[in-house]
Amino acid sequence: MPPIEKNKKIKRLKGKTKFDLLFKEGEINHEGDLLMRIKKDPSMELLEAGVSVSKKLFMRAVDRNYIKRLMRASLKKIEKNLLFDGLCLVMYTGKEIPKIGDLSNQMQKLLRKYID
């Protein structure tokens, strides 16, 4: 009998304690211009994800917000394919503004490493 498919959702990562837990106990993984900190937690029923862009690399808030919007959109595209629950923080470490296709491919490769 196949396992029952849960309806996976991505929720916004909030709260100092969750960020501290992620930085203390989370795993780090790289793919292209993306760096991901992730902590799997099967007791949670969803993935709480956050995105971040360095102010040092992109001085203009317009650019940072645009990149974060692209990252959220690429996370939303692969929301249905997620098979794990927990906390996740994706950081953009590139020096140029990415294209949506490149960012989506990198995000898929990065999250594919965590699918059981």
HSE at residue 74, side-chain half, CA atoms within 13 A, is 25
Q: Is 63 exposed, middle or buried (0-12, 13-18, 19+ CB in 10 A)?
A: middle
> What pTM was computed for the model?
0.84
Q: Is the residue at 75 inside a domain? A: yes
What confidence score (pLDDT) does residue 52 get?
94
**Tens of pLDDT, residue by residue, the chain (116 residues):** 444 455 667 889 999 999 999 999 999 999 889 999 999 888 888 888 999 999 999 999 999 999 999 999 988 888 777 767 889 999 999 999 998 888 888 888 888 877 65
- Residue range(s) defining the domain that contains residue 44: 12-112
Q: Is the residue at 59 inside a domain? A: yes
HSE at residue 9, side-chain half, CA atoms within 13 A, is 6
Q: Is the residue at 28 inside a domain? A: yes
Task: State the CATH number of the domain containing residue 68.
Answer: 3.30.230.10
Q: Is the residue at 3 inside a domain? A: no
Instruction: Give the total number of structural domains in the chain.
Output: 1
Q: Is the residue at 25 inside a domain? A: yes
HSE at residue 10, side-chain half, CA atoms within 13 A, is 19
